[in-house]
Structure formats: C-alpha cells, structure tokens
Structure 1
C-alpha cells in the first residue's frame, strides 16, 4: 500500500500497487506528476507497514538514496529494471494477499520489487513495451511499477493537474496529491544524514539556539509575546526541551533534587494554561505522594526560579 493523497474529508487514500497487476501511469501536468512519483518512491522506501521490499528509481532526485539506502537504488536506464521485474512476475501470489504470503516457499521468494520512473518513456518505443510486458501479470504478483507519462498498456492511470489535484478513476475519487519536489528531498536527506564527528567540544546550547530552519514554513499564528533570540538569552529563566530538558534559573537548587524540580518546571511550561496541583502530583509521582511533599516541591521550584 502506498498513499497518494488526502480527500476532502481528510481521509488518506492508499493504492495497492500489486493489485494493479501491471504499470500505474501518472499523467497530466508533467512537473506535478514527477513530484507525485517522487513521493511514492520515498514512501515505499521508508514506510514501516510494508514487507521487506526494494525500490528502483529512474530519473528521480538522487538524494532519495539517502533516505533508506538499503531499500532504494537509483538507475540510469530502464533496462536495469526489467530483469528484476520479470523475475517477480513469475512469483504470483494469487488473488489473496494472505494466502500468497503464507505459502511455504519462504519470504525470499516474494521480496516485493517496485520501480518508479520519473520521466515519460516513448509510447511507441521498445523500452515502454518491454516495461509493460515485464510488469503485467494475470494475478497478484510481488511487484509494482509507477511511471510518469502516458504508457500504453498501463492497468491504472492517475491524472494530476497543475494545482496538485489527483484523480484516481479506478476508485472514482479525487484527492490532494502527496508531492515531493527536489528541494523537499534535499531537506529530508539533510535531516537523516549522519552528523560529522566534531573536531572539539561543542556548545550544544548555543548550537540549539542559533540553528534556524531554512526551508519553507507552514503558516503559524505568531505567539502572544513575540520573542527573538536576544530576548531568550536575556530571560532570567529559560526552559529548553529539545534534547535533554534543562531549566536555567538564577536561584540555587540541591543537585539531588534538580531532576525532580526540572521535571516539574518543564511540565508546567508545557501547560501554560495551568495545572491543578493534584494533576501535577499525579504526573510527577504516579504511585502517589502526600500533599506536604507535593507542596514542598512546588515551593522549592518557585524559590529556584
């Protein structure tokens, strides 16, 4: 299953690529179609609900490889995909997913193979005919092909427009398409890339404060009290919760009590509307505590701040 978008009711629409028993063509606006195909490839390579699978991409952003290199590979020619698809077509699973998966041949016999093509093939060319032949079967097989552009012989067609609307005629639904542009893939690759080893000790707090996201931001209402970096640094009390939670306060606290009062202050900071003392006690002491201990801890935290 791979999701293709969300409908007007907010429901995610997923396609069973194996059920197509042949290629799925993404037609319409070429740029949007490529972004849809890129999103399909990225989800196939990274989702957690599929069996072990392999994805081969052609003419898609190269940085997709960084997302899950053990599941995704990039090739330069459709000919590199055909032998694998022909082998998967032989391992038909039948009409039932469950019965096919439970056969005694073992999982190695049906490791699903998916090919995602980001640019159109010549409709009357040998490559398109070979792709359709290799990917088509008369019953469910552990393979799937998604190709941008018109593809004679494709079993299903997804039609996209320039605004990102996607129609799935076989299901009779229209959705807002899932899309990944090349710049989005680059941001994802940066997010999952391993950090280089530091040359020396790092000021982790300073790095956290100075780091700024450079991509496109979704619209978010400004806070009631807009604060800049200088305001945060000058604040007498600061609570940081990304990474190890920390409370920076001018007072003094016993080291053996720091963890508990830090937890208390962080809990309150994350509930700016206020927390009833009984609720606070239940969060900090799940097994229960006396009112005297609770109130003494609150006083100790207030003194620290």
Structure 2
C-alpha cells in the first residue's frame, strides 16, 4: 500500500518543475465529489456514447448537447452527467499506437479519467479487445475492489446472431462471449459483465431527442435492464472505501509515471554529460597541441632571427632579410595550424 502523503510530499520536493501541483489539484477535486463516479472507457467506436444515451433516456433524463452518436470518432473530451445517484463520465476512445497528437491526447484524457473514478466500466464490442488488450489488462489489475470494475459487451445485436430470428442462438453466443472475456483477461467469474444491445438495429440512429418507448420491442433481450439496475444500485454508502482504493490506484500510477519520467531524464542527461565530457577532453587535447605548436614556433622564430642577425649584422640588407624570414616562418606555421 502506497503512503499517499509521502508520495505527495516527495513530488512537491522534486526539482525542475514537477507536475505535483496538477496531480494534487486533480485528486483533490475528485476527492471532494459526494457522488460515486462511474467512468465509461474503451476504444473508439465501441458504443460508449450510445450506451450513455440509452441510460439517460430510459431514466427520463435529457441527453446533453455534447453527447453525439455516430460511427466516427466524435468524443474528444471527458464529459459527465448525473444519472440516478451517481455521476457517469463519457471518455474519448483509446487509440493505441496512434501517432497523431489528437489521438494521443484522447488516450491520455481517457486514462486520466479512469484514474479518477470509483467504478470503471470497460466497454467492448463482441470482438472483445485487440490492439488495446495489454493496456486494458494493466488497468484491470490495478487494485479495484470487488464489484467496481464492470464489463459491457456492447452493440451485441451486431455480433452475428439475430435475436429476433434466433433468440436461443443469440443467448448462447452471449454466454460464450462472457466466458471468452473471463479467459482473455483472467477475470474472476464474479466480475460484473453485461451483454447489451443499447440501440438494436440502430433504431434511434444519431437522434438524441428520444422517448424510452422507442426500444420497448427489444427490452426482453437487449440486456439494458440489468445494466440500468446496476447503475441505480450504486450507492454513496460504499464511497469511502471506493475513494480509498481510487487513491491507492491514482497515486501509485502517478508515482510509477514520475519514476519512469525521471529514469528517462537520467538517461538523457547521462548521454549529454558523456557528450560534454568528450568535448572537454577534445578541447584539452587541442589546447595541448596548440601549446606545443606555439612553443615550437616561438623557438623556431628565435633561432631564425638570431641566424639572420648573425649573418647580416648591421647592414642595409638586415631589415629586408628579417621581413622575408618572418614571412616564411608565418606561412609555414600557419599551414601547421
């Protein structure tokens, strides 16, 4: 168990502009919330926004203007809305391995939101997870209390079994996918898993001005009742224990992230120090060589001047010969330099 106060104090004392203040502000803002926070997360186009729309409409709540439904990447910020006794956050989709800045920022925002939540809801399609599997696996093993990491296999009417023409086949496929999910992520079979079709056959499409009756024909098999009941059952009575666990997850992740950043900086500074040391050594070698050349040149000049004076004495040719000798000496040693 991490000592949160010790981590915060250590971060504050780090030199060079540690982001400790921002981490502390983010955590303190979350810790002050008096409602449980439920965060929907997962890859782009897994149906997080349409899932939230369905929960809102069935609860008789208005769909906020920021909630848009389409097959494109539409969610770029973390947004939240109150449903029953909790706050539900919709997050941008993960974009594992993406090189563009916007996709990287989306992933960063989503991960930050998951770090500051009481209940995490991993939203997956019937293909479960592919590129993001390792990242999700890491998230799932970060110390979530029993019952606070949920799994939603979303848009299951698109999974390959027609619930209206073959309901038995649909339910068998649903059971098989739940078992696959347990195996893929090595989950305890008590982990809450919901198989849902939040907008069967895209009945509502992108609309947000809706009434619950639009989905009445599908309620016997669409799985949304169980999920809605679970959301309604989220109670502030467990909030203290959930926040304690969230604090352990959050500050452990902050500590690990900071240590990784410091190790990276150490490697960079070590490499730069090596380059600087090599430069200093080369400079010292050059200085020694220049001192040697200077000494040799001075000795040669003294000898030449002495020889010219000895040969020409106090004659008219002395000045001319001295100038010629100096010119030759300068040209020779300039070339050596």
Q: TM-score range by the shorter chain?
A: under 0.3
TM-score normalised over the length of structure 1: 0.26
Of structures 1 and 2, the one scoring higher in RCO (CA 8 A, sep 6+) is 1
Which structure dedicates a bigger proportion of its chain to helix?
2
Which structure dedicates a bigger proportion of its chain to strand?
1
Which structure has the larger Rg?
2
